[in-house]
Amino acid sequence: MKPCNLFIFFLLASIHSTAQIGVNIGLPERGGTYIDLVRENYRWNDLNTGNAINGSQVDEQGWPNVDAQYIVDFRPVAEWSGSIDDPEVYRLDVSGTWKCSFRGEGQVSGLVGGAVQNLQYDGNTNTTTFDFVVSAQSNGLMLINFSNTRKTPNDPLNSGFTDFKMLRPGYNDDSALFHTPLLNMLDSIHFTTIRYMVFLGTNGRDPDFPGLTEWADRKLPTDASQASIPTIGKNGGACWEHVIDLANRTKTDAWINVPISASSDYVTQLATLLKNDLDADLNIYVESSNEVWNTAPGFSQSQYNQAQAAGLGIGEQENHARRTVELAQIFETVFGAGSLNNRIRVVLCSHQPMLKWWVEPMLQYVSTHFGAPSDFIYAIGCQSYFSGGQNVGDGVGQIIENCLNSISGQINDTGINEAGRMQWIEKASQWNLSGGYVSYEGGPDHGGGSTANITNRILAERSEGMCEALRYNYDDAFLQLGGTLAMQFTLTSSYNRYGCWGLTDDVNVPDRNFKFDCLRELLSGDSTVTALNQPLKTKNLIAVAPNPASGKVSFSFDLTLPAEVSLRIYDLFGCTIYNLEKGRLESGSHEMTWDTEKTIPGMYFYLFRIGNQWETGSLVVQY
């Protein structure tokens, strides 16, 4: 084999660091965000017509003014249309007794998914209580009918009710607010930051330009739900008070997404609330909306940005930069001189390929019209997703290899975009941004809505091999390059054609697969890592013979410098069947062997690492 001389071109250094990895959280988390389900689920039909209730049928908080049906649907995608994407057909366990109550009087019945028991009305407090009992055989769909309702004793029949609560099994009150398994999950891992983009319902929440979102329009803790309530014009997600509560409880920095339509007064009031109530030891990452470059359906903030830019006579890139500086200025006014780039960390985000098409022009615009970007902007950021598995016939092992290739291809982009992670890091350095380069979202992206190869795509997400891909994406191919903060998207999600974004698909069972534990180990504390200028997937690091094999397989390689060496073999399901950590080897020729005598014949994949370089390949075992 030709000697491997790539290490000549890299500077190796032993550094002591703590991984800076955060997470995006959703609403709801799969398996529960709140103790009270109603806080995260707002689905009401008019009981008499079967249609979704509208703005004329609710009060100012969003509670029904009519007899209504409450809809809860935890079924896996897409059971309602006769098929299920998940090959495991995994279902959330929703069985048990849900303690329920509401202000007012009425008859309650379980149409689907459970039985109403112990229905009682207390005239002294005008409160109705009942138990909703769900069997272990539940498929996750629940329909609860509220009829003959009276909001108060003086109101007519069919006048609705308020303050409906539906507490998860095991709770008698919701004074603790958040579901205990969610808090336990976050307490068990050392995420440095939580990004609240989905939790806040950032996408698609803004009015058409020139409409503004005022502070009085914000979601309140007392509203009928923390989910979107379109019936009262509150299209966003949870209230800011709950962001503060969760950040304080988990002791994690808060990454907030400020609506693009928020008025100056809104931003001032928000900054004031955070200054007064957020733990003073926590930092605040501030981002203008989310992906204002994204023109896909559901991202109306991009149209707002374009219209506002046109009104100001500037480009959409310039307007995004202008708005970002505006947020920085308002937050500095509230938090005081010296807060920017310290506790207040304003991030300018864009699409990964658009480094020289959006980011550089935005930084130039700030420099021309406001001054040095480093006076306002802490960091620049983009996504760090990777993908693989859309091809029909790709097994789990091949999908993992495709994922590793996807990550490797993002490290150094010398093509027309010049937008690899190394180029982003260099750009942040050129503009002297103290926070450098961050990733606002990242992780495996196997969504898009297609069912092509869906079984293997989901199985790959649950495989041990996906853990290796996550490690490579966040550690070798990001943090060790010089990225400063990588944000996983997301904490939990169901696994289906629309994505397998979550580290787990059940907050109550966080270790159902390898992904959550993988990041927990990576974030377990200080660790010594080997940093290179450029981690790289390289061909011809290793010679594998014989292939096909029917006995011992030899993996031969040469080192021109001492390096850490390891070899891992995966089966088609992404499971590790052989793992050999050779540790640090001296320069010279080396050989590692794998005895396949007791191995089931078939195709296998190997991942061979020398320092921060790696090579993948396939081999066939036969008798």
pLDDT 10s digits, 91-109: 999 999 999 999 999 999 9
Residue 131: name the closest of 167, 107, 164 by CA. 167
Which tokens is 416 given? 């027309």
Which tokens is 419 given? 């937008």
* Average pLDDT score over the chain: 92
By the 8 A CB rule, do 199 and 27 touch? yes
Q: Quick one: pLDDT at residue 572?
A: 66
What is d(CA 288, CA 290) in angstroms, rounded to the nearest whole number? 6
In this prediction, residues 583-608 reach a mean pLDDT of: 87
Q: Quick one: pLDDT at residue 94?
A: 98
Please report, as a single letter, which amino acid is at residue 552.
K
Q: How many other CB atoms are there within 10 angstroms of residue 139's CB atom?
A: 15
Three-state secondary structure of 455-514:
HHHHHHHCCHHHHHHHHHHHHHHHHCCCCCEEEECCCECCCECCECCCCECCCCCCCCCC
Q: How far is CA 211 from CA 54, 205, 615, in A?
A: 22, 12, 53
Instruction: Tell how far CA 254 is from the center of its chain.
Output: 14
What is d(CA 88, CA 52) in angstroms, rounded to the nearest whole number? 33
Say if residue 547's pLDDT is above 90: no
Q: Quick one: pLDDT at residue 573?
A: 66
Residue 399: name the closest of 616, 574, 615 by CA. 574
By the 8 A CB rule, do 154 and 85 touch? no
Say if residue 336's pLDDT is above 50: yes
By the 8 A CB rule, do 108 and 93 touch? no
Tell me the pLDDT band of 502, cut-offs 50, 70 and 90.
very high
What is d(CA 332, CA 317) in angstroms, rounded to the nearest whole number? 23
CA-only gyration radius of the chain, Å: 27
Say if residue 531's pLDDT is above 60: no
In this prediction, residues 481-485 reach a mean pLDDT of: 94
Percent of the chain with pLDDT over 70: 94
Judging by beta carbons within 10 Å of its beta carbon (0-12, 13-18, 19+), is residue 520 exposed, middle or buried? middle
Q: Quick one: pLDDT at residue 524?
A: 85
Residue 380: name the closest of 461, 445, 297, 437 by CA. 437
Q: How far is CA 243 from CA 36, 284, 489, in A?
A: 17, 11, 17
What is d(CA 288, CA 366) in angstroms, rounded to the nearest whole number? 15
Instruction: List, for residues 282-307, the tens digit of each pLDDT value.
Output: 999 999 999 999 999 999 999 999 99
What is d(CA 396, CA 4) in angstroms, rounded to the nearest whole number? 30
Q: Quick one: pLDDT at residue 16?
A: 31
Which tokens is 267 given? 């931003």
Q: How many other CB atoms are there within 10 angstroms of residue 323's CB atom?
A: 20
Say if residue 536's pLDDT is above 60: no
Superfamily (CATH H level) for 19-29+179-525:
Glycosidases (3.20.20.80)
Tell me the pLDDT band of 604, cut-offs 50, 70 and 90.
confident
Which of 289-298, 301-310, 498-507, 591-600 comes out lowest in average pLDDT? 591-600
Q: How far is CA 352 from CA 240, 253, 463, in A?
A: 29, 24, 27
Cite the DSSP H helix spans in 109-250.
Answer: 180-187, 240-250
Q: Quick one: pLDDT at residue 12?
A: 27
In this prediction, residues 573-589 reach a mean pLDDT of: 82
Report the half-sphere exposure of 56 (CA within 13 A, side-chain side): 1
Instruction: List, for residues 348-383, the tens digit of each pLDDT value.
Output: 999 999 999 999 999 999 999 999 999 999 999 999
Which tokens is 354 given? 């658009």
Please tell us whether the domain made up of 6-13+535-621 is placed in CATH 3.30.360.10. no
Tell me the pLDDT band of 535, cut-offs 50, 70 and 90.
very low
Tell me the pLDDT band of 608, cut-offs 50, 70 and 90.
confident
By the 8 A CB rule, do 405 and 618 touch? no
Which residue has better confidence, 450 or 10?
450
What is d(CA 105, CA 514) in angstroms, rounded to the nearest whole number? 48
Instruction: Tell how far CA 471 is from the center of its chain.
Output: 16
Residue 487: name the closest of 344, 205, 285, 216 by CA. 285
Instruction: Tell how far CA 371 is from the center of its chain.
Output: 34
Which tokens is 66 given? 């009519």
Q: Quick one: pLDDT at residue 574?
A: 67
Q: Quick one: pLDDT at residue 525?
A: 54
Domain borders along the chain are 6-13+535-621, 19-29+179-525, 37-167
Spatial strand order in the sheet of 552-559:
543-545, 552-559, 588-595
Residues contacting 418, CB < 8 A, separation 6+: 355, 356
E strand intervals along 325-474: 344-349, 379-386, 437-444
What is d(CA 199, CA 25) in angstroms, rounded to the nearest whole number? 6
Which of 17-26, 121-130, 359-368 comes out lowest in average pLDDT? 17-26
What is d(CA 595, CA 576) in angstroms, rounded to the nearest whole number? 15
**Angle between helix 264-277 and 316-335 (nearest 10):** 40
Place of tokens 């008859």: 107
What is d(CA 365, CA 297) in angstroms, rounded to the nearest whole number? 28
By the 8 A CB rule, do 36 and 167 touch? yes
In this prediction, residues 264-283 reach a mean pLDDT of: 99
Q: Quick one: pLDDT at residue 523?
A: 92
Percent of the chain with pLDDT over 90: 80
Residues contacting 118, CB < 8 A, separation 6+: 129, 130, 131
